[in-house]
Every structure is written in C-alpha cells, then in structure tokens.
A and B are shown apart, each in its own frame.
Chain A
C-alpha cells in the first residue's frame, strides 16, 4: 500500500465504481434477472446485476473460480483506490480468499442477501440488483408512519423504497448520493416502484444540500465508511435532523486489535473495509457532532472489521 489516498481520490474511486455498477444495472434493466450472477459474471452487466458481496458461503466453487467483472476491473485500473468501495472489485475473490487467509472481514454479508425475501419481493429487479449495503436495514424497521427520512448514500434506492412503505403517504423519504449514475438508476427505479413519497438528490454526504432540522430520521447503509471525513458527515447529519431526531447507521467498523497478518491482508485486498474506523473512534465522531444516546450493536466474536449498527439521537 502506498500513500493514503486523498479525499477527492477516494470520492472519484467511489463514483467510478458505483457509477459503473449503476450503468450496468440500468443497461440490463428489463432483461431477465441472471441467476447466481454474483461471482460468475458472463458480462459486466450480469456482474453488476448480481449481489456482488453476498457471503462466500453462498458461492459455489465453480462461481468463485470465475474472473471478476470487467467493469469493476476497469474501475480499479483507472482508480487505484476503487477498492475503498464496500462491494469493491475484490469482494468475490476476496471472500473466497478470506477463508484461507484468516481475513477479519470473512463471513461478512453484503447486498441483497441481507434483506428478507418478503421485504424485497415486491421490488423490481433493478432495485434489488444494485444493493450494496452491509447491514440488515434495522433503521427501516424502526420507522413510523409520517416520518421524514433521509438516506445518506442511497445508491439504487432499495432502502429508500422500503422506508417509504414504512412511513406511508404521510411521510417522505429522500435519498442523497454523489454518484450521478446511481441517482439516475434510483430515479428509474422510483418510476418502476411507483412510490410518490420518495425523491433522490445528487449531492455529497459531507455537504448535505438540505436545510437544518428537516428530518426525523437519518439512515445510511454501508456508506459512511467510504467518506474520508466521517466527523463532517455526522455534523451534517446532526444539522439536518430535527430535535429528537434519530440516526440509524449500518456500517463497517474495526473491533479489537488486528494482528499484523490481518492488517497486511486488509491492505492487500479488502476494499470495503479500507475506510473502516475503530468502533470507539466511530462512536466518538458521532458524539462529537452533538448526538446523545450513542450506541452500537455488532456480532463480532473475534477482532476484525465487522458490520455494526450504530444508533444515536439529537436531543
């Protein structure tokens, strides 16, 4: 690993990677869904349409042996930091590798596999296909009718659409994403889904383009780890939340001390966790923004980088 990439380099890599995925999903929208597209891409479109980071355990030996997606390779080549993305170019190979190398991220689940089948059965394929979250969307389950919700890093919109069902017609859901192609995909998906209480905006989670005190809930699924300035993201989240508003974030965090081997392995390939903060640092950043009742849930049994669910409140 060379020098730490700059914030802009990270942003560009994320936009490149997720933009490529969004374009591929859009291009294949309407086409029959590809079975087991995860790690057996017959084409760039198929690769992006699959739940890229589904758990290694679900992969067949044959699929794991296939080369990774052309589009992700291209993104990685043009931007060395593309592996910052949660479901970065190495996710499939990486998952397979993890078992033998003892990588701390082994066994993590990503993407559509995290959602209960009943949750997403009514959603179009192009919605589910772009999902790259790392957490069970617990924040959505806690939503109440009429609430105003902002999703930081909304991607193809899956969490927004599920949230929109929860808050109902009296509520509203806004998705914010800095990748133009993802916003385009989310808007396409909104048309497919037909929900009228969901809207998407192109913007940066470090510079949220909404007035202060506008939302009851802020949620985010495996996105903030991609930010080079997480404290700023939490300050902005705090600003746009109304008093009493809630933060519910799924994200990758580092738990416990990593061994040298684990660090080396991380540096080599584990793209999705390159930006993961130690859990305590993450919680401190949330507190520093002004939040109270800052809590974390995770199921880590050993030191490593894990998916955690972080909650907090604006007093």
Chain B
C-alpha cells in the first residue's frame, strides 16, 4: 500500500473505536461523554470507567489514558492539561 502524502486525515477519536479501549487501571469498558464533536468525531469529552468510575479526559481529540496519578503529576508540572 503506497503512502499518500497530504490526504485529509483527522485522527480524532471516533465513536466506533470506543469498544477496544479499556480502563488502564481495572481493564473494564469505558463510557464516552462528548462535550464537543465534529462530524462524529469527539474532540473534547470524558471517558469514564463503567466499573471503577475513574474518568479520563479527551482534549483536542486526544484521549488521555495515562493512569490518573501520572496524568495529574504531569498536569501539575506542565501547569496546564496535557494534550495542549
């Protein structure tokens, strides 16, 4: 398959891809709540574990599935949410 340069490609998370993700802590399914979408792609929102209730932010189309303590540590150091 040739590599095509310049084709429009939006890697933002798509709803239909949800089913393969799992909570990094307890490995259970996640539930998606989108707060900003564009053509079926979630740009901002939250993934919430259906078992443990832990939430994982989606920012600018990037779901942050780092363990929460590591994510918070990074956010604290960066002074802003990851993904920016």
A187 to B59, CA, bound (A): 13
Q: A239–B62 contact, CB under 8 A?
A: no
Q: B80 CB to closest chain A CB, in angstroms?
A: 11
Contact mask for chain B residues 18-55; partner A; CB cutoff 8 A; 1 contact, 0 none: 01111111010100000000000000000000000000
Instruction: Give Cα A210–Cα B5 distance, bound, in whole angstroms.
Output: 29
Q: For chain B, give the interface size range.
A: 20 to 34
In the complex, which of the residues B24, B27, B29 contacts A204, with contact meaning CB atoms closer than 8 Å?
A: B24
Partner pick for A165 among B1, B21, B64, B70, CB 8 A cutoff: B1
Please tell me if A122 contacts chain B, counting CB pairs below 8 Å: yes
Given A202-B62, A209-B22, are A180 and B67 also a contact pair (CB < 8 Å)? Answer: no
- Bound together, the chains give a CA A203 to CA B27 distance in angstroms of 13
A123 proximal to B (CB < 8 A): yes
**Chain B residues with CB below 8 A from A11, complex form:** 70
User: Are B1 and A168 touching (Cβ within 8 A)?
Assistant: yes
A-B contact count (CB 8 A): 94
The residue in chain A whose Cβ has the minimal distance to the Cβ of B81 is A180
Beta-carbon contact of A187 and B5 below 8 Å: no
Main secondary structure of the interface of A (DSSP, over half): mixed
Instruction: Name the residue on B nearest A193 (C-beta).
Output: B3
Question: Which of A169, A202, A214 contacts B65 (CB under 8 A)?
Answer: A202
Q: Which of B11, B20, B73 sits near A8, CB closer than 8 Å? A: B73
> Given A211-B21, A212-B27, A180–B82 Cβ distance below 8 Å?
yes
* B79, CB-defined interface residue at 8 Å: no
CB-CB under 8 A from A193, the residues of chain B are 3-5
Chain A 187-226 per-residue mask, 1 if CB under 8 angstroms from chain B, else 0: 1001111111001111110011111101000000000000
Complex formed: what's the CA distance from A165 to B1 in Å?
6
Q: How far is the CB of B14 from chain A (nearest CB, A)?
A: 9
Partner of B63, one of A202, A207, A212: A202
CA distance A193 to B11 in the complex (A): 12
Q: Which of A187, A204, A209, A214 makes the CB contact (< 8 A) with B23?
A: A209
Residues of A within 8 A of B (CB): 8, 11-12, 15, 122-124, 161, 164-165, 168-169, 178, 180, 183-184, 187, 190-196, 199-204, 207-212, 214, 239
Given pairs A194-B7, A195-B4, 5 additional interface contacts (CB within 8 A): A180-B74, A187-B61, A195-B1, A202-B65, A210-B21
What are 15 A-B residue pairs whose CB atoms fall within 8 Å in the complex?
Answer: A123-B3, A169-B1, A180-B74, A183-B62, A184-B83, A192-B5, A194-B3, A195-B4, A199-B11, A199-B17, A203-B24, A204-B70, A207-B25, A207-B67, A209-B56
